[in-house]
Amino acid sequence: MLYPALFLLLALATFHVSSKGEAPPVAPSLPPAAREFLEAHNEARAEVGVEPLRWSEQVANVTSKLVRYQRDKMGCQFANLTAGKYGSNQLWAHGTAVTARMAVEEWVKQKLFYNHTDNSCVPNHKCGVYTQVVWRKSLELGCAQATCVKEDASLTICFYNPPGNYVGESPY
Ligand SMILES: *[C@@H]1O[C@H](CO)[C@@H](O)[C@H](O)[C@H]1NC(C)=O
Ligand SMILES: *[C@@H]1O[C@H](CO)[C@@H](O)[C@H](O)[C@H]1NC(C)=O
Ligand SMILES: *[C@@H]1O[C@H](CO)[C@@H](O)[C@H](O)[C@H]1NC(C)=O
């Protein structure tokens, strides 16, 4: 494990193999952090002509529970997420405060390495976090953040419903 002097941000995505998902209904009014998560996602999606996500309070509640568990039991480490009901992106940060918008912008940085022409990623780079952000068939978003004071770390988790990152499929 790498412990740099100032700060470090690490991003992680899940990948899926085919199955079917169905979108539950939408939440009405949004807390500020939710709005920020949603807007930052939808800006990245609009840039490549992909329709906006909707915020799901139900999905957000699942991420809230998960980040609280990771905070209380795991020192804000990445959650161990394998292909499940939702797609997911995570950001672990050490030594720096991370707002909702900053987390999403960190994920969107992978765009630099993603080649949409042949749906490929520059060798030795990762694109899966970005491709989940702009995955057209993902319709709903829910996110949460937690901070671990002792570890000087934070964890941001977003879930996407239905999940994206189906291996071999193009995001849009
Ligand atoms: C989400 O959690 C809040 C707070 O615990 C609760 O009031 C609300 O009913 C939950 N919403 C859904 C859709 O589960
Ligand atoms: C994560 O979970 C999977 C499946 O539940 C398990 O096989 C794997 O060992 C776990 N990985 C870690 C790092 O705990
Ligand atoms: C993207 O992939 C296409 C098709 O393989 C290739 O022609 C093009 O040069 C690539 N673009 C970049 C920026 O690498």
pLDDT > 90: percent of the chain: 81
Q: Which residues contact 126 (CB under 8 A, 6 or more apart)?
A: 11, 13, 110, 113
Question: Between helices 32-47 and 100-108, what is the axis angle to 10°?
Answer: 20
Extract long-range pairs of 149-152: CB within 8 Å, 24+ residues apart: 150/75, 151/75, 151/76, 151/94, 152/94, 152/95
Q: Ligand 1 center to residue 166 CA distance, Å?
A: 29
* Distance in Å from the first CA to the final CA of the chain: 35
pLDDT of 51: 98
Nearest to 161 by CA among 77, 76, 70, 88: 88
For ligand 3, whether the C-beta of 118 sits within 6 Å is yes
Question: Helix (H, G, I), strand (E, B), or coil: what is residue 126?
Answer: coil
Locate the ligand 3 atom nearest the alpha carbon of residue 116 and give its number: 1
pLDDT of 98: 96
For ligand 1, whether the C-beta of 140 sits within 6 Å is no
Q: Measure the CA–CA gap between 31 and 135, rounded to whole angstroms.
A: 24
Q: Could you tell which of 112, 115, 116 is best to mutate to test the pocket of ligand 3, judged by most ligand atoms within 8 Å of the CB?
A: 115
Residues at CB less than 6 angstroms from ligand 2: 80, 82
pLDDT of 63: 98
Give CA separation, 169 vs 44, 132, 154, 166, in Å: 19, 11, 32, 6
pLDDT tens-digit readout, 144-161: 999 999 999 999 999 999
Q: Residue 119: which region, alpha, beta or left (left: phi > 0; alpha: psi -120 to 50)?
A: left
Ligand nearest to the CA of 34: 1
pLDDT of 40: 98
- Which residues does the chain have with pLDDT short of 50? 1-5, 20-27
Q: Could you tell which of 112, 118, 120, 125 is best to mutate to test the pocket of ligand 3, judged by most ligand atoms within 8 Å of the CB?
A: 118
